[in-house]
Structure 1
Amino acid sequence: MTATLTPATAVPAAEARAVPVRRVYRFELVKLLSQWRIRLLVLACWIAPALFVAGVSQQSSLPVDTLFGRWMHATGWAGPLVVLGFAGMWALPLLTSVVAGDVFAAEDRLGTWRHLLVAVRSPRRIFAAKALASLTVILLLVTGLAASGIAGGLAFAGNRPLVGLDGHLLAPGDAAGRVLLAWLCVLAPTLALAAVGLLGSVALGRSPMGLLVPVLVALVMQIAQMLPMPVTVRLALPGYAFISWNGLFADPAQLEPLLIGVAVSLVWAVTATALASALFVRRDFTNAVADGSPRRAVLTGVLPLGGLLAATVAVVAATTPASGSGIEQTKVEASVTTAFAHLYVQQTRQLHRPAVTEAQLRASAACTKGADRTGGQGPGNDWRCVVTWHLPGLEATGTAIYQLDITPDGRFMADGDGPKEVNGYFLVHTPHGDTPNPLWQFDGNVELPYPTSKG
C-alpha cells in the first residue's frame, strides 16, 4: 500500500530539511565579500582614514571647524575623533546603503530567488542569514575606520594627552578608552540605518530607491539636527548618537544624552528589522513581478516608522526635563566657565607661571545673546560672554571676552576677543613644539536635556 503525501505533511518535512542558518550565513557572507565594490569599501575603510590623518599632520592649517580638529597636531587621539565626526555624517550612511540597502534587491535584479528558496527551503532562514551577513560586513567596515584612524593618529602625532571638550586634560590611557567607547556607541545608529536599509531593500525590490533609503534617512536627520527644533524631538531621532558621543569627553561625562541616543537607535534597529522580516516572509515568490511597490513601502515602512518617531518623542518628553531648544543662559555660562578654568590652568603651566588650580581661580562667566542683555536662549553666533577670575595673592580681577557660535545641537566654539595677552593668538612652547594659545579658541558643549549644566 502506497502512502499519500498531503500538503499538511509535506510542509513540516520540507521545513525539517531546511539548510541550517550558519551554512546560509557563510554562503551569503562569501557572496557579499566577492563583490568588487564591497572589497573596495573594505580596502578604503582600512587605509583611507590613516592617509587622511597623515595628510593633515603635514599641513600647517588644521580643520578647526571640526570637533577636536584643532588638536590633531598635539595628540594622536584627536585624529580618530575627527574621522568619527566625518563618518557619522557621510561615510556610515553610505556604507549601510551599499551593503544593507542592496542585499535583497540584488536577488530581484538577478532573478535568483527561486533557486535560493529551493536550496534553503526557508524564507526566515534566508532573511536571518542575509541580515547577519550584512551586519558582519558593516562591523568589518566600521572596525576598519576606527583602527585606521587610531593607527594613523598615533603614528604621526603620538600617544599624548588629549584636551577634552570642556578643556580638561585626558591622559593617553583615558583618551584611548573614551575614543574606543565613542566608536562603539556609534554602532547603534549605524545598525538603525542598516535596518532601515534592509526594510527598503525588501519593500522596494529591484528599484534603485531601496539602495538610497539609508542615505536619504541620514540626510533628513542631519538637516533636522541643524534646525532649531525642540530638544525632545532632537533626542528622539535615531541619528542623535552620531552627535552625542562628544559628551564622553567632558568631565564629568555627559552620559544621559548619549544613552538616550543609543537606546532610541536600538529601538529603531529592532523595529525596522522586524518589519523587514515580516514583509519578506509574507512575500509571494511565485510572482516574478511582485518584488516591491511604493505603496507597500509606505504602508510597511514609512507609516510604522513615523509612528515609532511619534512614540519616542512622547517617551522622551515624559522622561526628561527638557524644554525648548535646551540652550539656556545658565547652562552656557556654566560650560564656558568650566572650559576656561581648565584651559587657563593649562596655559599657566605652558607659560611657566606660578601654578594655580581651578578652585583658586574662582572663574565665572556672564553671557548674553544678541541685543538681549538680560539673558537669552537658543542657538546662534551672537552670544557674548565675559569671563572673570581671580589669581591667588592679587586683588585685581581678570577679565576676558569671548564671542560664541552655538549650533542647535549644543556645540559651541568660543573665539577670544581680548585682552590679547590672555586670549589673543600667540604661540606657547610645549615639549612637543609650539602650539596656539589654548585660550584663543576652544570648543565646548551644552548638555541639552537638563535645565542646568552639571559641568
Structure 2
Amino acid sequence: MSATATAPAIDDNVASTRPVSVARGYRFELVKLVSQWRIRLLVLACWIAPALFVAAVSQQSTLPSDTLFGRWMHATGWAGPLMMLGFAGTWALPLLTSLVAGDVFAAEDRLGTWRHLLVAVRSPRRIFAAKALASLTVILLLVAGLAVSSTVGGLLAVGDHPLVGLDGHLLTPSDAAGKVLLAWVCVLAPTLALAGIGLLGSVALGRSPMGLLLPALVALAMQLAQMLPLPVAVRLALPGYAFIAWHGLFTTPAQVAPLLIGVAVSLVWAATGTALAYLFFIRRDFTNPTSDGAGRRAVTTGVLPLAGLLALTVAVVAVATPSTGSGIVRSKVQRSVATAFAHLYRIQTEQLNRPAVTEAQLRVTAACNKGDGQVAPHGAGNDWRCVVTWHLPGVEAAGTAIYQLDVTSDGRYVADGDGPKEVNGYFLVRTPIGNAPNPLWQFDGDVDLLS
C-alpha cells in the first residue's frame, strides 16, 4: 500500500524534470525576438518602406536606369519588386540576417542568462533548435515583407502591365507575376546560407561584435569576388551567386542551370553553417560564466570547414559545368544582343504603328568586338562594341545600328545606342498617342555563362 502511495510522487518528480518541448521553446524564443524594439522596427520597415519607395520612384520623371529593371518602372508595376530584389540581395538581406541570426545566441551572452535558460529548458539541443527556428521565422517574415510590399507599391502606382524581359521579349502580367514570385523564393537559399553563417558566428564568437557582423562581412566579400574576373566554376561555387542567378528567369529560354547550381550551393552552405553552430553549442561549457564560446580554437574550427567546403564546391562545379574561363565570349554576346534587339524592334514597331514584322523576317545579326579589335573578344569590360544588322520585308537595303556594351563579370550587360538617331539615338520616340520611352535607346541583357 505504501508502494502505491509513493509511486505517483515519483512519477510527478520525473515529469517535472523532463525537458521543455521544442514547440514551447520555439514560441518562447519567438516572443523574445519580436519583443525587441529593433526587430519590430525591422518588420515595420520591411512591410511598409518598399511600397512607399517603389511608388515614389515610379512617379518620378527620372528612373534608376542603371539598376536592373529600373528603366521599366514607368511601364509596369512588376519592375518595382525586381528592382527591390536587386537592392535587397546586395544590402538589405545580408544586414537583416546579421541583426537576427547573428545576435540570437550572442544576446544571452551579453545578458548572462544562459544558466537561467538551461534550468528552465533543461536541454541544450532543444534550446538550439528553438532559437534557430525562431530566427528563421523572423527572417522569412522580413523577406516576405520586402517582396509583398514592393509588389503592392508597384502595382498600385503603375498597374498590372506586361514586363520586358532581359532578352527583350514581353512577359504577360501572369507570367511576370510567376517569375517575380519564383525569383524572390530563389533568393531565400543564399539568405539561409548567410543565416547559417550568422548562427555560427553568434555561437562561436559570443558577445564579440564580430559575430553580429559576420554575415554582412561574408556577403560583402562575396560581392567583391563576383566583380573579379573569376572562372565560371568559382563564381557559381560562391553561395552569394544565387542573389543574382535569378536574372536567368527573365530570358527565353530561361537560364536554369546557373540558378539551380547557385541554389544548391547556398543550401549546402546553410546546412553546413547550422551544423557547425550546433556542434559548437552542445560542446560549450555553460558552467563557466566567463566562457562565451569565443576563442582561437572556435574561430579556426569554424573557418577551416567552410574553407574546405568552398574548395569542394569549386571542384564539383568545375567537373559538372562545361564552361571554362569567364564564360563571356563573342559568340554568346552576339547571340544575346541580336535576340534582344529583334524583340525590342518589334515593340518599337508596334509603338510607331508600323506594319508588324516577325523575328524570322528581321533576320537580325550582331557583329561585336572588344577594345576596337585590339584585345581578345572575351571577358567583362565596358569596351565592347556591336553593330546590329536587320532586314525588313520588301526592302533590299539592310538596316544597321551601333551599340556600346558594358558587360559585367556575371554576364549582365547594358547596351547603349550609338546611332542612327531614327532607331536608337533618342530616349523618347514620337508615337501617335504622344512620346514614349524608346526601347532600343538603351537596354539590359544577360549572357548565359554556361550555354
TM-score with structure 2 setting the length: 0.95
Given that 1:370 and 1:382 are in contact with CA atoms closer than 8 Å, whether structure 2 keeps it comes out as: yes
Give the match for residue 414 of structure 1: 415
Per-residue CA deviations over 1:293-349 (Å, capped at 9, x if unaligned) read 241343222111010000000000000012111110000001001000000011001
User: 1:357 Cα shift?
Assistant: 0.5
Q: How many corresponding residue pairs?
A: 441
Q: Which runs of 5+ in 1 are unaligned?
A: 3-12, 451-455
Which residue in the other structure is 1:79 paired with?
Answer: 80
Give the deviation of 1:58 after TM superposition.
2.4
Instruction: Give distance in 2, aligned partners of 1:374 and 1:235.
Output: 26
What's the secondary structure of 2:102's corresponding residue? helix
* Paired position in structure 1 for 2:264: 263
CA gap of 1:430–1:199, structure 2 versus 1, over 3 A, is: farther
Deviations 1:79-98 (A, max 9, x none): 00000000000000000000
Shift of 1:292: 2.3
* Residue matched to 2:352: 351
Name the structure 2 match of 1:24: 25
Equivalent pair of 2:160/2:173 in contact (CA under 8 Å): yes
SS of the residue corresponding to residue 70 of structure 1 reads helix
Alpha-carbon separation, structure 2, partners of 1:448 and 1:207: 40
1-structure distance, mates of 2:37, 2:80: 29
Structure 2 residue identity aligned to 1:276: A
Match of 1:118 in 2: 119
Q: Distance in 2 between matches of 1:23 and 1:302?
A: 33
| Matched-pair contact (CA < 8 Å) for 1:200–1:211 | yes
Match of 1:35 in 2: 36
- In the alignment, which residue of structure 2 is the partner of 1:107? 108
| 1:207-230 Cα shifts (integer Å, max 9, x gaps) | 111000000000000100111111
**Is contact 1:203–1:296 with CA below 8 Å preserved after alignment?**
no
Q: C-alpha separation between the residues in 2 aligned to 1:431 and 1:59? A: 23
Question: SS in structure 2 opposite 1:195?
Answer: helix
Distance (Å, rounded) in 2 between the aligned partners of 1:431 and 1:203? 65
Which residue type is aligned with residue 76 of structure 1? G
Counterpart mapping for 1:348-387 below 5 A = 348-372=349-373, 376-387=377-388
The alignment status of 1:60 with 2:93, answered yes or no, reads no
Residue type of the alignment partner of 1:446: V
Cα separation, 2, equivalents of 1:135 and 1:426: 45
Paired residue for 1:395? 396
Q: Secondary structure at the match of 1:192?
A: helix
1:239 corresponds in structure 2 to 240
Residues 310-349 of structure 1 mapped to structure 2, 5 A cutoff = 310-349=311-350
2-structure distance, mates of 1:416, 1:213: 42
Question: Structure 1, residues 366-404: CA drift from partner, whole Å, max 9, x if none?
Answer: 100003268610000000001101111111111111000
**CA distance in structure 2 between the aligned counterparts of 1:95 and 1:297, rounded to whole angstroms:** 24
Structure 2: distance between partners of 1:235 and 1:446 = 14
User: How far apart, in 1, do the equivalents of 2:276 and 2:225 lie?
Assistant: 24
Quote the Cα distance in structure 1 between the aligned partners of 2:432 and 2:128. 56
SS at 2:240 equivalent:
coil
**Residues 212-221 or 288-297, more deviating:** 288-297
Return the letter of the residue paired with 2:358: T
The 3 A distance-change label for structure 1 pair 28 and 402 is: same
- Counterparts of 1:49 and 1:431, CA distance in 2: 35
Work out whether residues 428 and 434 of structure 1, in 8 Å CA contact, stay in contact via their aligned partners in 2.
yes
CA distance in 2, matches of 1:430, 1:28: 59
Q: What SS does structure 1 have at the residue aligned with 2:449? A: coil
Map 1:195-206 → 2, pairs under 5 A: 195-206=196-207
Identity in percent: 78
Mapped partners of 1:144, 1:15: distance in 2: 41
Query: Which aligned pairs between 1:269-284 and structure 2 lie closer than 5 A?
Result: 269-284=270-285
Change in CA separation of 1:15 and 1:348 when aligned onto 2, cut-off 3 Å = farther
Aligned pairs for 1:81-230 (under 5 A) are: 81-230=82-231
Decide whether the 8 Å contact of 1:14 with 1:121 is kept in 2. no
1:289 Cα deviation from its structure 2 partner:
1.3
Contact kept, 8 Å, 2:404 with 2:415, in 1: the verdict is yes
Assess if the C-alpha contact under 8 Å between 2:167 and 2:340 holds in 1: yes
Shift of 1:15: 11
Give the letter aligned to residue 134 of structure 1.
S
What SS class does the counterpart of residue 390 from structure 2 fall into? strand
CA gap of 1:433–1:111, structure 2 versus 1, over 3 A, is: farther
Identify if the C-alpha distance between structure 1 residues 375 and 399 changes in structure 2 by more than 3 Å, giving closer, same or farther. farther
Decide whether aligned partners of structure 1 residues 80 and 430 sit closer, same or farther in structure 2, where only a CA change above 3 A counts: farther
Aligned residue identity for 1:63: P
Compute the displacement of 1:164 (Å): 0.3
Q: Structure 1 residues 113, 423: closer, same or farther in 2, change over 3 A?
A: same
Cα drift, residue 430 of structure 1: 6.8
Aligned residue number for residue 8 of structure 2: none
Summarize the Cα distance change of 1:85–1:426 in structure 2 as closer, same or farther, 3 Å threshold.
closer
Runs of 4+, deviation exceeding 3 Å = 13-16, 428-434
RMSD, matched Cα: 1.8
Q: Is the 8 A contact 1:367 1:375 kept in 2?
A: no
The answer to whether the 8 Å contact 1:15/1:121 transfers is no
Unaligned 5+ segments in structure 2 are 4-13
Residues 203 and 300, structure 1, Cα contact 8 Å, conserved in 2 = no
Give the 3 Å change call, closer, same or farther, for CA 15–258 of structure 1 in structure 2. Answer: farther
For residues 188-212 of structure 1, the C-alpha deviation after alignment (integer angstroms, 9 at most, x for no partner) is 0000000000000000011111000
Look up the SS of the partner of 1:165 in the other structure: coil
AA aligned opposite 2:258 = P
The residue identity in structure 2 corresponding to 1:380 is: G
Residues 120, 126 of structure 1: 8 Å contact kept: yes
Match of 1:8 in 2: none
Q: Deviations over 1:84-117 (max 9, x none)?
A: 0000000000000000000000000111101111
Q: Secondary structure at the match of 1:200?
A: helix
Name the CA distance, whole Å, in 1 between partners of 2:248 and 2:226.
16
